[in-house]
Structure 1
Amino acid sequence: MVEKGRVEDVGEMISRNVTAYEARPLGKVDGNIEARSASVTTQDMSLVYLDWGAPTVGTSLAKDEAFNLRITLEGQVSTTDPNFGEISAEKEKGNARIFSLTEETNTYSHGHIGLNLVIPHNVLENRVKSFYQHELGKSLRFAPLLDLSTIKGQSILSLLEYFKTQHTEAPEVFDNPIFGTQFQELMLSNILAGMDHNYKQILDKGAMDVAIPRAVKRAEDFMRSNAYRPITIELLAREAGCSERALHSGFRKFRNKTPLSVLRDIRLEHAHSDLMAMTGSVTDIAMKWGFSNLGRFSKSYVERYGERPSQTLKVAPCQIFKAA
């Protein structure tokens, strides 16, 4: 839901959804100008839309242990950062700001409209720990700017646009915990692999360890028994008894697939079984197993079973009759 009001009212919205925050206009504001804001949350991630409507200064009143990625849709904005100083971004430059709010951090906005992705630091740091199955020596820290014109920048921007569009047009998709977990996994992996941070070089160039076949089988057995549940790579690695990196390497070596592609195959098998048993409509069954895009679901289904999901539903009664 979009909230409208004074600049100060939007500051109160940020206080409710992100951290204690105070906002005030820079100079006199026309009484007809309204600031607008909206916030949605999925799993551990929040997406905040901000349109200040007028030149504004905002001050964080408390430290916020969260990663903030802010995309500038219009205008210009700058934030003070304790490690990098002033971080400035504007739409014309095609970059996004990465920052964490600390007490008395000031943000200056001029005609600014933006999207802000907020993820708790511990969520990202736990993924790095899980990747190595080792504690971090230093806190995870990102470079202050992301070039949105790069391939990896475009990938993250596309995910944010999808996040916004889905919540606008089909918010019920995120009510499915399987889909919500899949989307968060995709976002976290793109952030850690595509953005510069103090563990990036190690993630890219570290010596590759490989899970033994027994660990790969443990992961597969867990996926088959729990396919109806939200499953993350972090959880799979823990169940298999190895690091995420070793698990990815093991699946590539012994299955020539990623763990999540194997999980999708398993869920596709369950969807096929449900279609054969006529437990619901194609849409209901696809959504149940985390396939929110019916076009992609149908394409994968045809590639695997040689017919469309709707055809399986139609032929199922004949097969049941013959079996009887």
Structure 2
Amino acid sequence: MKRSMEIEPIATDGAGISSALDGFELCRAVGFDAFRDSLNGVFYPARVEPTGLHTTSVQSLLSAVELTHLTLGFVRFGTETALDPGALGAYHVNVALSGSVESHCGRESVVARPGTAAVFTPEDHTRLPRWGADAGQLCIKIDRRALEAELESMLGRPVASLVRFSIGFDLANSAGRSWLNVVRLLLTDLADGSSLSRGSTTHREELERLVISSLLRAQPHDFHDELHSDHAPARSRIVKRVVDAVDAEPEKAWTLAGMAELSGVSGRRLQQGFREQLTMSPMAYVRLVRLERVHKDLLTYSGSVTDVAFRWGFTHLGRFAEAYRERFGLAPSETLRRFRA
């Protein structure tokens, strides 16, 4: 069943949030086509069409800054607009600062007004059929791998699937206010040309990760209960022994029998332990570690896709490419091209 929600607006310091990006202004009061091209260049290729009467508005404004894990932007079209970016390939949050925006992601929808944010997942179809003429939103694009790696660190185990958030994010409750305060902290620091965020990449990335981890704690998703559990199960010695060995040599020709012999238990018992503690089989864990090593090598230009895949134990390139796309949301060759560019 399709779910829809509306959250009553609250007073939000929209002007303060948007003005923090004044130093990153890209375009203002330009023709609609030029505005759309700038917007798509910063965020996602999307079908963006005006549904209002005017295609040039003195109220249009786009400011944006691309960081390591996040892209933050303020967007106001100044004319009623419809957007259809499809599957985003990244996690994304739109914080409503003025007006209203109807937002859909998969089977969920929300009408975002001040005091509300909309949270989108990477693989579900996203569309915003009614972006009001007076609506301004803080748009936050979150690198998919950065969010999933942060969740893995918080859970203490690998995460083999994407994170599905509820779309409607109430910023009036304590968790929502706390997350928004972290976002304000990052924006305020970026607005100061002599701040630590401007002078230290390490410091800025710590604030970016704080935005991501706060979102994971504040907004419901399918790992939310586990994340907030006070009694996460300890990893047993038999599972830890295999995990440590695979982490040390993921390229090795691992088999279930070989891992069972290493752990000192039967293959069935080892599989049971992995499913209870890591929610995946031993061989799925091997594949996950190999994919992570491939991804890291592609980001550092350590050889061609074929060379890197073989280096980490993948012998069937078709199945490798399919698994890589499922894990990271893009093809291995796209990773290589994007980060070289």
Query: How would you bin the TM-score normalised by the shorter chain?
Result: 0.5 to 0.7
The residue number in structure 1 matching 2:106 is 82
Alpha carbons of 1:185 and 1:27: their partners in 2 closer, same or farther (altered >3 Å)?
closer
Deviation, 1:140, is 0.7
Q: Aligned runs of 1:208-287 on 2, under 5 Å? A: 208=232
In 1: Cα distance, 2:230 partner to 2:196 partner? 37
Per-residue CA deviations over 1:114-172 (Å, capped at 9, x if unaligned) read: 10111022211122223334332532111111111111111111122222233223365
What residue number does 2:278 align with? none
Alignment of 1:91-170 (within 5 A): 91=114, 94-100=115-121, 105-110=127-132, 111-170=134-193
AA aligned opposite 1:105: R
CA–CA distance in 2 between the matches of 1:185 and 1:153? 17
CA contact (8 A) 1:11 1:58 kept: no
Percentage identity across aligned positions?
15
**SS of residue matched to 1:197:** coil
* Count of matched residue positions in the alignment of Structure 1 and Structure 2: 210
Determine helix, strand or coil for the equivalent of 1:140.
coil
Q: Deviation digits for residues 9-59 of structure 1, max 9, x if unmatched?
A: 232122211110232221321755341101112221111110111111122
Of 178, 185, 197, 2:202 maps to 178
Which amino acid in structure 2 is aligned with residue 140 of structure 1?
V
1:104–1:98 Cα change, 3 Å: closer
Distance 1:129 1:30, change over 3 A: closer
For residue 215 of structure 2, the aligned residue among 191, 201, 213 is 191
Cα distance in 1 between the residues matched to 2:164 and 2:93? 13
User: What is the DSSP-based 3-state SS (H/G/I as helix, E as strand, rest coil) of the residue aligned with 1:28?
Assistant: coil
Whether contact under 8 Å (1:72, 1:114) holds in the other structure is: yes
Unaligned runs of 5+ in 2: 1-23, 236-341
Q: What TM-score, normalized by structure 2, do the two folds share?
A: 0.55
With over 3 angstroms needed to count, the CA separation of the structure-2 counterparts of 1:100 and 1:209, relative to structure 1, is: closer
Secondary structure at the counterpart of residue 100 of structure 2: strand
1:37 to 36, 57, 62: 62
Alpha-carbon separation, structure 1, partners of 2:157 and 2:65: 33
Kept after mapping to 2: 8 A contact 1:7/1:34: no
Structure 1 Cα separation of the partners of residues 183 and 107 of structure 2: 26
User: What is the CA–CA distance in structure 1 between the aligned matches of 2:57 and 2:209, rounded to whole Å?
Assistant: 42
- Structure 1 counterpart of 2:78, one-letter code: G
Deviations 1:160-213 (A, max 9, x none): 2222233223365323022112212321221111111100101112634679xx
Q: Is the 8 A contact 2:150 2:209 kept in 1?
A: no
Q: Alpha carbons of 1:27 and 1:191: their partners in 2 closer, same or farther (altered >3 Å)?
A: closer
Alignment equivalent of 1:6, drawn from 26, 31, 36: 31
The 3-state SS of whatever aligns with 1:205 is coil
Corresponding residue number in structure 2 for 1:240: none
Q: Distance in 2 between matches of 1:160 and 1:80?
A: 23
Distance in 2 (alpha carbons) for counterparts of 1:30 and 1:210? 59
Deviations 1:275-306 (A, max 9, x none): xxxxxxxxxxxxxxxxxxxxxxxxxxxxxxxx
TM-score, scaled relative to structure 1: 0.58
Return the alpha-carbon distance in structure 2 between the equivalents of residues 126 and 186 of structure 1. 13
Aligned residue type for 1:191: L
| Distance 1:30-1:11 versus aligned 2 partners, 3 A rule | closer
Structure 1: 5+ residue stretches without partners: 212-324
Structure 2 CA distance, aligned partners of 1:171 and 1:73? Answer: 27
Using the TM superposition, give the Cα deviation of residue 113 of structure 1 relative to its aligned residue in structure 2, in angstroms: 0.5
SS of the residue corresponding to residue 105 of structure 1 reads strand
Aligned to 2:71: 46
Residue 96 of structure 2 corresponds to 72
Amino acid at match of 2:183: L
